[in-house]
Amino acid sequence: MNEILSFLREAADLTRRIQNDFITPATWEKKDKSPVTVGDLAVQTLVAARLEALYPDVPLIAEESADLLLTDEGKRFLEIILEYVAKYIPDVTAEKVVKWISRGKHDDSLRDAPRFWTLDPIDGTKGFLRKEQYATALALIENGQVTLGFLTTPNLTWLPETKEFTTDQAVGSLVCAKRGDGTRVVPLDRGDDALEPIHVSAHADPAEASVLRSVEAGHTNLSQMDVLCQKIGVTRNVGMDSQAKYAMLAAGKSDLLFRLISAKMPDYKEKIWDQAAGSIILEEAGGRVTDLDGKPLNFTQGYTLKQNRGICASNGLLHDRAVQAIEEIGA
């Protein structure tokens, strides 16, 4: 696991460098209207290369495609990616960048693979662009179960002295979980020997609880969110980008997380790279993750959670109440 933590620290350093160097990082719009930046592609290059070296026989399902770099517009950004990745892989070439990005399949071709990685190089790209919250999310799925999960959150820093997260220090955090072995966190400027366990909150009273939700309206149903919170009895509901929300729940700094079905995208199915790492991190911290109907997340259906509808995540104690409220309001 130490090798994985090492290259994820590299990935966090890479995203921070790109974010700091550009007022607006070079950005494209994908077919689904979501943005992708040179940061997404550079991180996918780096992580895919490290995984290939460490686990050559384990395939990868990842969010981004190299197709963008093969267009006339994209070729000029390939040079930017090469410049950044060269700090970590000195012998990188344009051909290797395309190969490593393409190693991350973006379809259902690995649906029956018994073991594979799934990666979101920059989860919360719009948060990254706003210089707010984002994460690099990596998980290992074996026989349909998430067995390892990792999140780096460069703009969300764990303070060991106070056991709190802060956005005021540009240090960042690394959160990891292994099935059956708990969840741990460490600031990115400290060694792996400083990893410490975290656990969800003990809030069973909704009046003491808070909800984390997506910032973007396209990711959830914001109007229904207010109705749902009232139904549950929660008065605090805070927007945050990316799977950094899972880290907050795992450390007991919030209590509920929802991805309701957006009216703009009624048929949307969650991508596995958006939930795999965060789900095991929350579960191993004592929490619970299901879809909006209370069904376990099914990671055997390819790159999407085809058998699930939205996300309901909690500290466990409030979960049944939340699922019941979702049913009652028809969310």
Q: Is residue 192 part of a domain?
A: no
Q: What angle do CA 148, 199, 164 make, to 5 degrees?
A: 110
Q: Is residue 224 part of a domain?
A: yes
What pLDDT does residue 161 have? 96
Picking from 240, 256, 249, the residue whose alpha carbon sits closest to that of residue 326 is: 256
Q: What angle do CA 62, 154, 138 make, to 5 degrees?
A: 25
125: annotated active-site residue: yes
Whole-angstrom distance, CA of residue 94 vs CA of residue 222: 42
CB 144 within 8 A of CB 298: yes
The total domain count for the chain is 1
CB 212 within 8 A of CB 236: no
Please name the residue that has the structure tokens 């000029």: 76
Q: Is residue 91 part of a domain?
A: no
What pLDDT does residue 26 have? 62
Q: Is residue 21 part of a domain?
A: no
pTM: 0.95
Whole-angstrom distance, CA of residue 183 vs CA of residue 149: 9
CB 295 within 8 A of CB 307: yes
3-state class (DSSP) for residue 151: strand
Whole-angstrom distance, CA of residue 46 vs CA of residue 184: 24
Q: Is residue 314 part of a domain?
A: yes
Which of the following is catalytic: 45, 125, 136, 183? 125
Token pair for residue 126?
Answer: 């719009």
Please name the residue that has the structure tokens 């895919």: 48
Q: Tell me which H or E stretch contains 9.
A: helix 2-21
pLDDT (tens digit, 9 = 90+) per residue, 141-164? 999 999 999 999 999 999 999 999
3-state class (DSSP) for residue 121: strand
Local confidence pLDDT in tens for the 331 residues of the chain: 899 999 999 999 999 999 888 765 666 666 554 567 899 999 999 999 999 999 999 999 999 999 889 888 788 889 999 999 999 999 999 999 999 999 998 889 998 899 999 999 999 999 999 999 999 999 999 999 999 999 999 999 999 999 999 998 889 999 999 999 999 999 999 999 999 999 999 999 999 999 998 887 666 777 799 999 999 999 999 999 999 999 999 999 999 999 999 888 889 999 999 999 999 999 999 999 999 999 999 999 999 999 999 999 999 999 999 999 999 999 8
What HEC string does 244-297 produce? HHHHHHHCCCCCEEEECCCCCCCCCCCEHHHCHHHHHHHHHCCCEEECCCCCCC
Which of the following is catalytic: 40, 123, 274, 291? 40
The CATH number linked to 256 is: 3.40.190.80
CB 174 within 8 A of CB 160: no
Domain of residue 225 covers 206-329
What pLDDT does residue 33 have? 46
What pLDDT does residue 83 have? 94
What pLDDT does residue 28 have? 61
Mean pLDDT of the chain: 93
Cα 275 to Cα 123, 243, 264, 269, distances in angstroms: 10, 8, 20, 11
pLDDT (tens digit, 9 = 90+) per residue, 36-76? 789 999 999 999 999 999 999 999 999 999 988 988 878 88
Cα 258 to Cα 147, 158, 204, 273, distances in angstroms: 23, 23, 17, 17
